[in-house]
C-alpha cells in the first residue's frame, strides 16, 4: 500500500494546490510534499514495500531511479522558492506552477514503481501532459513554441512506444496462456516469446521512449524545452524525466535479455548511444546559449548511459552510476544557470561575463560543476565514465578511443563556453557582488557535494543497489 501512497500523495496534494491561491502556502505545500516523498522513498531502502496487485511493484532499478528523482525533486522544490519569488512579477502562470509540478512528480513516480508495461506507458504519457504547461510557464512566444514542439515530438514518440507495447503483447500471445504485460511474467516466458515481434517491439520502444530520453537523432525538442522552461523544471526534465524514459527502454531490454535477444538490443543501444554522443559533441562546440548547452550535455550523457548499457558486462554498473552522477550534477548546473539568468536576464553566453565576481558562490560552483559534468576527477562522473571507457576499450579499441575522443571534445566545448562566463571581466566594472539567497545556492551546493563524495567513495548501500540494478540488466 505504501507504493500507492507514494503516487497518490503528490497527486492529491497537487489537486489541493490547484485550489490554493496564495503562493506562500503553495510553496510550503510543495516543499512539504517533496520532503514527505523523500522520506517515504528513503524508508523503501530499509523495508522494500510489497507489491500491489501486479500493477505496482518496486525492484532495485525502480528504487534507484525513484530515489534519484525524489532527491532532485526536493532540491528543485527548495530552489523553486527563490525562483518563483524572483519571477512573481513577470508574465507567468504563477498559481499553476506548484500543482503541475506535483502532478509531474506523481506521474514520474508511477513510471518507477510499476512493472506493468502498459501502465508504465500511460505514466510516461502523463509526464508529458503534466510537464508541458510547466515549459509554458513564462508566457512568451518562444516558450509556447518550445512547449508545442515538446508536445508534438514526444507524443509521436509516445505513440510509437504504445505500438511497441502492443507488439510486445503480440510477442506474448505466442505463449499459452498469454502472460499479462508484467515484467516478471514476460521474463518468465523468456524464450517462448515470438522473437521477431519482440525485436520489433524493442526497436519501437527505443525509438519511442528514446525520443523522450533525448537520444539523437530524436532529441530536437530537448534543447528548446530545456532552455525555455523555468530552471527548476529544466533540472527535473534533465535529471529525472530523462531517466524515466530510460527506465522505459530498460524494461523492454530486460524482456529482451530474458528472451535471448540481448545482443540485438545492446547493438541498438550502443549505436544510438554513440550517435547521441557524436551529435551532442558537435553541437556543444560553438554553442551560444548556455541553457541549450546544458541541454545538449544531457543528450551527450544519455548517450553515454545508453552506450554503457550497450557495451554490457561491468559497464552496465558504470551506466547506472553515471545515471546517478549525471542527474545530480546536471540538476545543480541548471539551478546555477537559473541564478545567472535572474541576474543577467539573458541566456546568451556572450552577454554573461564575470559571474565569479558578481555572484561569487554561483560562479565558483559553476566552474566546479562544469569540471564535474565534463568528467574530470575527483568528481563522480569521472568514475562512471572511466568504468564505461575501460569496458568499451576492452571490447573494441576503436570504440573506446572514439568514446574518449567525443568526451574530450564535449568537455572542451563546455569549458570554452562556461569558463569565460565565470571568469571573464564584467561588462560594467563597478558592479558589486549581489546577495545570493540561501535557497538558490543550497540545492546546487548539496548536489555538488554529493557528486564529490561519489567521486571518491561510493557508500556500500548505494553500491549494493547499483549492483542489484545492473544485475537486473544482465551486467
Partner 1 sequence: MTAYADLILLAVLLLGVYVLATSRLGAAIRAVAVQGGLLALLPITLAARTSWDALLHVGLLSLGTLLLKAVIIPGLLLRTMRTANVRREVEPFISLHTSVLIGAVMVGVAFWMGSVLTLPRPAPATLLVPVALATLLLGFLVIVSRRKAITQVLGYLMLENGIYVFGQCLARDMPFVVELGILLDVLVGVFVMGIAIHHISREFDNIDTDELSTLRD
87/116 with CB nearer partner 1 = 116
Residues at the site binding partner 1, with contacts judged by CB under 8 A = 118, 121-122, 125, 128-129, 132, 141, 144, 147-148, 151-152, 155-156, 158-159, 162-163, 165-166, 169-174, 178, 180-181, 194, 196-197, 200
CB 131 within 8 A of CB 241: yes
β partners of residue 138: 92
165/287 with CB nearer partner 1 = 165
CB of 18 to partner 1, least distance (A): 17
Rounded Cα gap, residues 53 and 230, in angstroms: 38
CB 128 within 8 A of CB 155: yes
196/360 with CB nearer partner 1 = 196
Helix, strand, coil tally for the chain in percent (to 5) = 80, 0, 20
Residue 222 grid cell: 530537448
Cα 65 from chain centre: 9
CB of 188 to partner 1, least distance (A): 17
Residue whose C-alpha cell is 500471445: 173
CB of 348 to partner 1, least distance (A): 22
CB of 152 to partner 1, least distance (A): 6
CB of 170 to partner 1, least distance (A): 6
Rounded Cα gap, residues 4 and 13, in angstroms: 14
Report angle CA 282, 284, 288 to the nearest 5 degrees.
125
Rounded Cα gap, residues 311 and 399, in angstroms: 10
Full DSSP string of 12-55: HHHHHHHH---HHHHHHHHHHHHHHHHHHHHHHHHSPPPPBTTT
Cα 266 from chain centre: 21
199/326 with CB nearer partner 1 = 199
CB 111 within 8 A of CB 56: no
CB of 53 to partner 1, least distance (A): 12
181/367 with CB nearer partner 1 = 181
CB of 159 to partner 1, least distance (A): 6
Amino acid at each position: 500500500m505504501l507504493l500507492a501512497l507514494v503516487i497518490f500523495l503528490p497527486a492529491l496534494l497537487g489537486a489541493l494546490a490547484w485550489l490554493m491561491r496564495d503562493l506562500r502556502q503553495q510553496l510550503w505545500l510543495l516543499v512539504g510534499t517533496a520532503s514527505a516523498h523523500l522520506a517515504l522513498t528513503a524508508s523503501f531502502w530499509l523495508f522494500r514495500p510489497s507489491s500491489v496487485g501486479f500493477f505496482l511493484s518496486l525492484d532495485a532499478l525502480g528504487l534507484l531511479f525513484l530515489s534519484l528523482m525524489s532527491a532532485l525533486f526536493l532540491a528543485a522544490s527548495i530552489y523553486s522558492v527563490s525562483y518563483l519569488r524572483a519571477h512573481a512579477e513577470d508574465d507567468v502562470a504563477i498559481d499553476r506552477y506548484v500543482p503541475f509540478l506535483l502532478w509531474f512528480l506523481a506521474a514520474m513516480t508511477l513510471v518507477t514503481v510499476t512493472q506493468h508495461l502498459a501502465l508504465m506507458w500511460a505514466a510516461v504519457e502523463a509526464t508529458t501532459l503534466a510537464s508541458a504547461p510547466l515549459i509554458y510557464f513564462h508566457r512568451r512566444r518562444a516558450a509556447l513554441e518550445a512547449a508545442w514542439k515538446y508536445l508534438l515530438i514526444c507524443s509521436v514518440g509516445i505513440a510509437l512506444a504504445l505500438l511497441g507495447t502492443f507488439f510486445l503483447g503480440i510477442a506474448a500471445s505466442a505463449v499459452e496462456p498469454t502472460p499479462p504485460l508484467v515484467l516478471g511474467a514476460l521474463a518468465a516466458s523468456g524464450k517462448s516469446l515470438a522473437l521477431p515481434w519482440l525485436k520489433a517491439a524493442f526497436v519501437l520502444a527505443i525509438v519511442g521512449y528514446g525520443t523522450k530520453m533525448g537520444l539523437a537523432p530524436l532529441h530536437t525538442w530537448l534543447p528548446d524545452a530545456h532552455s525555455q522552461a523555468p530552471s527548476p523544471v529544466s533540472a527535473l526534465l534533465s535529471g529525472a524525466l530523462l531517466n524515466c524514459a530510460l527506465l522505459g527502454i530498460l524494461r523492454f531490454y530486460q524482456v529482451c535479455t530474458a528472451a535471448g535477444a540481448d545482443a540485438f538490443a545492446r547493438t541498438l543501444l550502443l549505436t544510438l548511444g554513440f550517435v547521441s554522443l557524436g551529435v551532442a559533441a558537435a553541437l556543444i562546440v560553438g554553442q551560444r546559449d548556455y541553457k541549450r548547452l546544458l541541454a545538449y550535455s544531457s543528450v551527450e550523457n544519455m548517450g553515454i548511459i545508453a552506450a554503457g548499457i550497450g557495451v554490457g558486462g561491468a559497464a552496465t554498473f558504470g551506466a547506472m552510476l553515471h545515471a546517478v552522477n549525471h542527474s545530480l550534477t546536471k540538476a545543480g548546473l541548471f539551478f546555477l544557470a537559473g541564478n545567472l539568468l535572474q541576474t543577467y536576464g539573458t541566456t546568451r553566453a556572450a552577454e554573461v561575463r564575470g559571474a565569479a565576481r558578481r555572484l561569487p558562490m554561483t560562479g565558483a560552483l559553476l566552474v566546479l560543476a562544469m569540471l564535474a559534468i565534463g568528467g574530470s576527477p575527483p568528481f563522480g562522473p569521472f568514475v562512471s565514465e572511466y568504468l564505461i571507457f575501460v569496458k568499451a576499450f576492452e571490447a573494441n579499441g576503436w570504440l573506446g578511443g572514439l568514446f574518449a575522443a567525443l568526451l574530450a571534445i564535449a568537455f572542451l566545448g563546455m569549458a570554452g563556453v562556461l569558463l569565460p562566463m565565470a571568469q571573464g571581466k564584467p561588462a560594467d566594472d563597478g558592479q558589486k557582488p549581489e546577495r545570493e539567497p540561501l535557497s538558490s545556492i543550497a540545492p546546487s551546493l548539496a548536489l555538488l557535494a554529493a557528486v564529490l563524495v561519489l567521486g571518491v567513495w561510493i557508500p556500500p548501500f548505494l553500491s549494493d543497489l547499483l549492483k542489484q540494478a545492473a544485475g537486473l540488466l544482465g551486467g
